[in-house]
Amino acid sequence: MNSSLFQALGIIDCAILRYMGRKHFEVIFTKDEWFFDLLPEATGNSKFELAENSAFLNDFLLDAEDFWQKHNTGQIHSGIWTENTANRQLHLEAIAAYAGGERFIVINNMQHEYKEQQKTLQVARELLISNDKIQAQHQYLNDRLSKVLSQNASLLELNLPIQQAIEHASIGVIITDQKFKPITFNPASWSIFELDPQSADTTPLAIVTDMFDDQFPEIERLKAHRSSWSGDLYWHYPPRYHKWLQCEIHPVMDEGLGLKHWVITLADVTRIKYLLQTNEDLALHDSLTGLPNRQYFWQTLEQSIRAEEHFFVMYVDIDKFKNINELHGHLTGDSMLISVSKRIKKRLQRSDFLARIGADEFAIVIKPSPDIELEPGSDILDRVTDIAAVLREDSRSPHFTERDERCNLPLRIGIASYPADASTTEAIMKAADLALHAAKLFSQDPIQFYSSDLKTASEARLRLESQLREAIAKEQLQVYLQPIYDLSSGRIVKAEALLRWFPTKDSSIGPDVFIPIAEQTGLIYPLGKWVITKVCELLTVFKQHNINIKLAMNVSPRQVSDRHLFEFIKSTAERLGVDAHKLELELTEGVLVDNYNKAQKLLNSLREMGVTIAIDDFGTGYSSLSYLKHLPIDHLKIDRSLISDIDTNEDDRAIVLAILAMATQLRLKVIAEGVETMEQQEFLKQHRCASAQGFYYAKPMPLESFIAFMK
């Protein structure tokens, strides 16, 4: 072949070899000496047999032969490799190709590409390593401090190693009380701000607070909800100082989940930022996803407001993303973030601006654009609503890891509009953040638009949360009991313990309101423990009154993920002398599907102890029934929504009959919930449902009434 043709085509720094079979090649084209340095066996011969001079090339040939056998078109690449020959160091890449019925190996000299790639990755990786070190320090200090502070009555009781770690830490540590009043500063927190603690007229905390007010308006909500935060803040003190600080804030709770302290850690990351600035692309883009970063997003938001454009901000959060990192590791977590970002991007138009603004948070600015044709009669709001719905719908399909493991990454979305909802950058972000927070709270409604009602509801919810915290601390909640009947004998065989909350004499708040709040805030842990203790105490009272029945209690998803749950149940039962066979735990299907491994471990331990298990609200949510075969389950509780229309709704009747048939096959007993009429009871009896509970028999009642009722 004419070498000048290759040169004319711009193919000038490669070698092209035609594959003749079993390590035999013919040199079609090569220009430079490097090729003969690499494969001296080809010197002076157009046809040659590949020797063992390049282990990498020999290895790649196995892939090439495999590829040629299976395909008759296309190519595969080896990736870059470095080869030390007698005369030089080469950076090469091999390609196996199939063209015109013939097989070729092309070896490209990648000297230039290697240098370019190395230059970019060098900066990126230096950043990665610096970041890693800072992150690890933040995490270690926060973990240790949270653990110690949550147990100790006062900071004075901090043990010596922790005190020394704080004193000598290269990152700033500030500890405050629950109201954000400073308690202690370590030396680094002063030196970061170039302050002398003896003579300074301000404190590190005052500076941090000012920076938050200006740069991170979401802080007030985070404080109100006792959430953690991490991110970068810019400290500018003209004319001498300007620094980038990586800041983390964590609440420290006591065992009863009362807020005790805030721990703030600060690290100077100016050098990292400087490195970033040497590469504009890295400065404004997130290195993982390649999307614009928070800084770029903020700039775009400010520009849009200055231009007085009408736009929407969509704040997108991946639900429970932390679990992915915990379950599959951070590398998989990173690849899942890339996968999510690609999925979102696919649904947007060129004029929409997508950024990654937090670990598992994305934000989108959506503006009206002449390039986008809207459906007749629809406007930008319709488009925003459609995008949110499509993103949410897309997120219902699982992502897959490299090992082909399934990851569910549902999205929650908060939306705010400029100028309707807010008129400044800070305010619009606060509004979108509040909407996102609402979307996280209401599992049924993962897309929320900001409204003043939402703000009022958020404030009301905060008040309720605080009341609930107090009610739990003061043990103001009550356990009511509802009997469960054996349908064949008509006898009471069991009771279900149900929580009730009467904030005042004349008012009550339903468990459908306060249990989700307890779940979301973590109050479910102390509350759950209180219920377990109470149920065990009730069983001892039953014994005194010769009431020989089981007592069932509900366990929430978050409790199941608490690895100390089993130990607590066991030790409480033992301490109060309760026969474990008298205890029953009710879990919903969702817990088993979402948290299978933990649920399996817990259920097996409980079974060994003698506790029975019932699946609550059965038939309403999930279709994955395989867990029924593999887990030690005793009862299925048919949800009340299926029972209530059993007389009139053929579909409900069919579902109930199917559950009863399936339970018979699996040797599980069925309890019907919410039975209110004789007709419902008769239907269930006729189809061999084992037990039932509901208003037809008795409403939930306090202990004294229950004892009287039993007698």
Partner 1 sequence: MIQKKVCILGATGVGKTSLIRQFVEGSFSEKYLTTIGVKIDKKQVDVDQTSTQLLIWDLEGIDRYCGFNPRYLRGTSAFFVVMDQTRSQSLIEGMEILHMARDHTAVPAIMIINKCDLDSAWHWDADSVNQRASEFDNCFYTSAKTGENVEQMFTEIARLSLG
| Residue whose CB is less far from partner 1, 82 or 202 | 82
Contact window for partner 1 (CB under 8 A) among 123-131, 307-315, 542-550, 669-677: 123-131
Find the binder of partner 1 among 10, 21, 44, 79 (CB under 8 A): 79
| Residue whose CB is less far from partner 1, 10 or 79 | 79
* C-alpha torsion 279→283→286→289, nearest 10: -30
Cα–chain center distance at 185: 32
Find the binder of partner 1 among 15, 17, 61, 83 (CB under 8 A): 83
Instruction: Show contacts with partner 1 in window 17-76 (CB under 8 A).
Output: 55-56, 59, 62-63
> Which amino acid does the sequence have at 250?
H
Q: Does 137 bind partner 1 (CB under 8 A)?
A: yes
Contact window for partner 1 (CB under 8 A) among 331-339, 550-558, 562-570, 573-581: 331-339
| Residue whose CB is less far from partner 1, 102 or 126 | 126
| Residue whose CB is less far from partner 1, 272 or 643 | 272
Give phi and psi for 658, each to the nearest 5. -65, -40
CB 140 → partner 1: shortest distance, Å? Answer: 4
User: Whole-angstrom Cα distance, residue 482 to residue 262?
Assistant: 43
Question: Do the beta carbons of residue 265 and residue 248 sit within 8 Å?
Answer: yes
The strands making up 411-418's β-sheet, listed across from edge to edge, are 353-358, 361-366, 311-318, 411-418, 447-449
Nearest C-alpha neighbor of 393 from the set 375, 405, 410:
410
Instruction: Show contacts with partner 1 in window 203-262 (CB under 8 A).
Output: none
Q: Does 125 bind partner 1 (CB under 8 A)?
A: yes
CB 30 → partner 1: shortest distance, Å? Answer: 21
Nearest C-alpha neighbor of 149 from the set 141, 158, 160:
158
Instruction: Show contacts with partner 1 in window 334-353 (CB under 8 A).
Output: 334-335
Nearest C-alpha neighbor of 52 from the set 31, 32, 38:
38
| Residue 116 exposed, middle or buried by CB count within 10 Å (0-12, 13-18, 19+) | exposed
CA distances 680 to 50, 493, 677, 696, Å, are 83, 19, 5, 9
Find the binder of partner 1 among 51, 121, 460, 658 (CB under 8 A): 121
Q: Does 132 bind partner 1 (CB under 8 A)?
A: yes
| Residue whose CB is less far from partner 1, 142 or 681 | 142
Cα–chain center distance at 9: 50
Looking only at the bridges linking them, the beta strands covering 229-237 and 241-253 are antiparallel
Find the binder of partner 1 among 99, 136, 661, 666 (CB under 8 A): 136
Tokens standing for residue 235: 């400290």
Contact window for partner 1 (CB under 8 A) among 120-128, 274-282, 305-313, 408-416: 120-128
| Residue whose CB is less far from partner 1, 287 or 395 | 287
Contact window for partner 1 (CB under 8 A) among 110-118, 435-443, 468-476, 634-642: 110-118
Find the binder of partner 1 among 7, 43, 72, 82 (CB under 8 A): 82
DSSP, residue by residue, 126-141: HHHHHHHHHHHHHHHH
* H-type alpha helices, 285-346: 294-306, 321-328, 330-346
User: Whole-angstrom Cα distance, residue 607 to residue 92?
Assistant: 61
**C-alpha R_g of the chain:** 33
Find the binder of partner 1 among 330, 396, 545, 688 (CB under 8 A): 330
Instruction: Show contacts with partner 1 in window 272-301 (CB under 8 A).
Output: 287-288
Contact residues for partner 1, defined by CB under 8 A: 55-56, 59, 62-63, 79-84, 91, 93, 114, 117-118, 121-122, 124-126, 128-129, 132-133, 135-137, 139-140, 165, 287-288, 329-332, 334-335, 402-403
